Structure 1
Amino acid sequence: MALRRSAIFFINLNMKKSELRKKYLEKRMSLSDEEIFQQSEEIFRNFIGYFKPLPEQKVHIFIPIHKFREINTRFFIDYFFSRNIKVFVPKVVDTKLISVEIFKDTIFEYNQWNISEPVSNEDSGISDFDYIITPLLYGDGCGNRIGYGKGFYDRFFENISAKSKKIGVNYFNPDEIIDDVREEDVPLDYLVTPTEVLSFFNNGLE
């Protein structure tokens, strides 16, 4: 999988977060189950092909919210378990996003938002993840991301090692730039789509 350096000239339209959130949620909800499965697998293969994670590395990865048609991360998690890669997933406890280590026999339950989470509330305390595979509704060609507007990941990113690679995954390529980025918004380091891997270091101009 070749890496593309993202740069400003790849962007052709500026849009507000609210507009992009609505547009890309509608596009995602229109995907069929087969499309979600196939594109999730392609994203997984692009991630593995480029980053080549190793045994004993630490990966923080989300459990998909099925009603929002999120990317199927089971491909990733099964691969990580089979390669002895440590897996951590997010859980919201008292308005804070913590990181819980999971294993093949970890018990999950649905929270009040019908999101699958591990039963355990034990925060791993890990801050030096090798990879943080990050959910988003849209990511632009400058590394900016749009989530659901709660800011959980921006606050989570503030407390992790600068060496941790923040990697967004999305079905769609970055065709618009987010016009109303805030100072507290933390950009991604990479974006993986079904067709490519993009790097955002120095806006791809290094």
Structure 2
Amino acid sequence: MLKLEARTEYLKKRAQVTLRQQAIWDDLLLIQAQQLALPPLHGVFSYVAIERRKEIATDAILSYLEFRNPGMRVAYPVYDAPTSAMKAVWVDDNTLFEVNAFGIGEPLGGPIAEPLELDLVFVPLLCFDERGYRVGYGKGVYDRYLKEVRQDALLVGLSYFEPVPRIADTDKFDVPLNYCVTPQRIYEF
């Protein structure tokens, strides 16, 4: 399957997910995520789910990880459209978020989280393949950012759907995941 085909197909599949299905699958994803054998976490990079695209929210998983890792810090992306670059910003309970021009919630201010400070990154995706490669929205923003994180940082995707066998047009710029969690199981790559 090519990225463009996958993007089109999985945007449609996600659009057909009912709120009831989404609630059940989110609970199952949390149960699966709790089974991940993770090292102690100090810095986690997440994202604000785009509700209209039925992206998987990380809130419940982050709450669990914060419980398991007292003092863990969480960062969220801020996208700079003119440069097509992304940075991570540490947040706390007082951080305000604003929806940007692309419909994505971003923190308003906060200290920059350096890529080398991150132990785990939740990577948004539309679908993934059996090798751990993902299809996103097609701008390559996350792949460029992921090249800057530590080699031992864990890259984790969340998906309502099982993997496709192979995304045929991956290239040297694509960064594979370490894990992808679905409602049914954990895939390790």
RMSD (CA atoms) = 1.7
Q: 1:193 to 1:40 in 2, by over 3 A?
A: same
Q: Structure 1 residue 24: deviation in Å?
A: 0.9
Alignment match, 2:109: 120
The one-letter code of the counterpart of 1:195 is: Q
> Counterpart of 2:10?
24
Between the aligned residues of both structures, percent identity stands at 30
| Superimposed CA distance per residue, residues 48-93 of structure 1 (whole angstroms, 9 cap, x where no aligned partner) | 2223564x52111111011111002121233344453211111113
Q: Which residue of 2 aligns with 1:49?
A: 35
Match of 2:91 in 1: 102
In 1, Cα distance between equivalents of 2:28 and 2:91:
24
- 1:39 is aligned, of 25, 32, 40, to 25
Do 1:128 and 1:164's aligned partners in 2 also have CA atoms closer than 8 Å?
Answer: no
Post-superposition Cα deviations, 1:8-34, rounded to whole Å, max 9, x if no partner, equal xxxxxxx11111111111111100112
Q: Which runs of 5+ in 2 are unaligned?
A: none
The Cα of 1:121 is off from its aligned counterpart by 6.1
Kindly provide the amino acid, as one letter, of the partner of residue 123 in structure 1: I
Distance 2:63 2:148 in 1: 27
Query: Structure 1 stretch 158-167 or stretch 105-114: which is displaced more?
Result: 105-114
Q: Distance in 2 between matches of 1:99 and 1:48?
A: 24
Q: How does 1:1-206 map to 2 (within 5 A)?
A: 15-52=1-38, 54=40, 57-83=42-68, 84=70, 85-93=72-80, 94-120=83-109, 122-200=111-189
The superposition leaves residues 166-202 of structure 1 with CA deviations (integer Å, 9 ceiling, x where unpaired) of: 11111111133101111211111111111111111xx
* Greater mean alpha carbon deviation, residues 72-81 or residues 155-164: 72-81
Q: Quick one: which amino acid aligns to residue 85 of structure 2?
A: K
> Bigger relative contact order, structure 1 or 2, given CA contacts below 8 A and separation 6+?
1
Q: Aligned letter for 2:164?
A: D
Are the counterparts in 1 of residues 95 and 110 from structure 2 also a CA contact under 8 Å? no
Contact persistence 2:10–2:127 (CA under 8 A): yes
Q: Aligned equivalents of 2:3 and 2:183: distance in 1?
A: 23
CA distance, structure 2, for counterparts of residue 121 and residue 91 of structure 1: 11
Aligned length: 185
Could you tell me the TM-score, scaled by structure 1's length?
0.83
